[in-house]
Amino acid sequence: MTAETAAPAVAAVVLGTRASALARAQTERVAESLRQAWPEIDCRTRPIATRGDRTQASGVPLPTIGGKGLFTAELERALRAGTIDLAVHSLKDLPTEESPGIALGAVCLREDVRDCLVAREGHSLRGLPPGAIVGTSSLRRAAQLLGLRHDLDVRSIRGNVDTRVRKVQDGEFDAVVLAAAGVLRLGLEGAVTEWLETDTMLPAPGQGALGVQCRADDERVLTLLAAIDDPGARAETTAERVFLRALGAGCTAPVGARAQALESDVRVRMEALVASPDGRQVVRVAGEGEAAELGERLAREALAAGAGEILEAIRGDQPLVGRRIVLTRPRDQVGELAEALERLGATVLAMPLVDIEPIEDARSLDVALARLEAYRWLVFTSANGVAGLRERLGEKALPAATRVAAVGPATAEAVRTLGVEAAFVPDRFAAEEIAAGLGPLQGVRILLPQADIASPSLAVELRSRGALVDAVAAYRTVAIEPSLHDVSELQRGVDAIVIASGSAARSLVASRVGNLVLGATVVCIGPKTAQAAREVGLPVGLVADEATSEGIIDALTSQFLRSPSVESP
In the structure, how many helices (H) and strands (E) does the chain have?
20, 23
Given the residues 85, 93, 278, 495, the one annotated as active site: 93
Beta bridge partners of 195: 116
List phi, psi (to 5°) of 465. -100, 10
Q: Which strands sit side by side in the sheet containing 468-479, from one edge to the other? A: 354-357, 468-479, 445-451, 377-380, 403-406
**Residue 3: Cβ-neighbour burial (10 angstroms; 0-12, 13-18, 19+):** exposed
Q: Residue 531 gets which letter from DSSP?
A: H
Cα(264)–Cα(53) distance, integer angstroms = 36
Is position 427 annotated as part of the catalytic site? Answer: no
Burial class (CB in 10 A: 0-12, 13-18, 19+), 150: middle
Residue type at position 452: D
Phi, psi of 382 (to 5 degrees): -165, 160
Distance CA 118, CA 512 (A): 45
Run of H or E residues at 36 = helix 21-37
Tell me how far apart the alpha carbons of residues 208 and 93 are, in angstroms, rounded to a whole number. Answer: 11
- Of 472, 433, 420, 429, the residue nearest 450 (C-alpha): 472
End-to-end CA distance of the chain: 63
What torsion, rounded to 10 degrees, do the Cα atoms 493, 498, 504, 505 define?
80
Angstrom distance (rounded) from CA 79 to CA 71: 14
CB atoms within 10 A of CB 344: 25
Print the SS3 string covering 394-447.
CCCCCCCCCEEEECCHHHHHHHHHHCCCCCECCCCCCHHHHHHHCCCCCCCEEE
Distance CA 509, CA 67 (A): 36
Sign of the alpha-carbon dihedral angle for 88, 91, 94, 97: positive
In sequence order, the 6+-apart residues with CB closer than 8 A to the CB of 304 are none
Report helix, strand or coil for 275: strand
Cβ atoms of 472 and 364 closer than 8 Å: yes
Contacts (Cβ under 8 Å, ≥6 apart) of 207? 90, 91, 92, 113, 179, 181
Q: Are 471 and 385 in contact (CB under 8 A)?
A: no
The H or E element containing residue 529 is: helix 527-535
Q: Using CA atoms, how far apart are residues 13 and 45, in angstroms rounded to an integer?
A: 8
Active site residues: 93
